[in-house]
Amino acid sequence: MKYTLCVLLCSAFFVHNVYSLQGGTTVTLGTHPSHALVLVEQVPHGGTIVNINHVVTSCRIVLTANNELRPVAQFAIRAGGITFTEGTANTVTAIFPHPEFNPWTFNNDVAVANNFAFNFNVANPPIAPAVLNERVFGEQTDCFVVGFNAPTVAVPNPPLLQLVQPVLNRATGCNAATVHNGRVLESMLCGGVLGANSGICPSTIGGGLYCFGNFTGIATSGTGCGAANSPGIYTQVRHHVQWINNQLTRTQIPAAGPTHPPGVIVSAAVIATVAHTLLICLAFLITIQCLFNAIF
Ligand SMILES: *[C@@H]1O[C@H](CO)[C@@H](O)[C@H](O)[C@H]1NC(C)=O
Cβ–ligand 1 distance for 212 under 6 Å, the answer yes
Asked, for residue 175, whether it belongs to a domain, the answer is yes
Over residues 170-193, mean pLDDT: 95
Higher pLDDT, 78 or 85: 78
Ligand 1 nearest-atom number relative to CA 212: 13
Specify the ligand 1 atom closest to the Cα of 134: 14
pLDDT value for 155: 62
Query: Sorting pLDDT into bands at 50, 70 and 90, what band is 42?
Result: confident
| Any domain includes 274 | no
Give the 3-state secondary structure of residue 23.
coil
Residue 9 has pLDDT above 70, yes or no: no
For 17-54, give one letter per residue: b (16+ CB within 10 A) or e. Answer: bebbbbbbeebebeebbbbbbbbbeeebbbbbbbbebb
Going from the C-alpha of 215 to that of each of 28, 62, 149, the distances in angstroms are 19, 20, 20
Tell how far the Cα of 234 is from the centroid of ligand 1, in angstroms.
19
Confidence of residue 99 (pLDDT cuts 50, 70, 90): very high
Q: Cα–Cα distances in Å, from 3 out to 6, 14, 15, 17?
A: 5, 16, 18, 21
Residue at 265 is within a domain:
no
Average pLDDT over residues 138-151: 83
For ligand 1, the distance from its centroid to the CA atom of residue 212, given in whole angstroms, is 7
142 CA distance to ligand 1 centroid (A)? 14
pLDDT confidence of 241, banded at 50, 70, 90?
Answer: very high
Is 214 near ligand 1, meaning CB less than 6 Å away?
Answer: yes
**From atom 1 of ligand 1, which residue's Cα is the shortest distance away?**
214
In a domain, 251, yes or no: yes
- Domain span at residue 60 reads 2-258
Q: Does residue 291 belong to any structural domain of this protein?
A: no
Total tally of structural domains belonging to the chain: 1
- Residues constituting the chain: 296
Per-residue pLDDT band for 278 (boundaries 50, 70, 90) equals: confident
Whether 249 maps to a domain, the answer reads yes
What is the CATH number for 146? 2.40.10.10
Asked whether residue 264 is assigned to any structural domain, the reply reads no
Residue 275 domain-assigned (yes or no): no
What average pLDDT does the segment 227-242 reach? 97
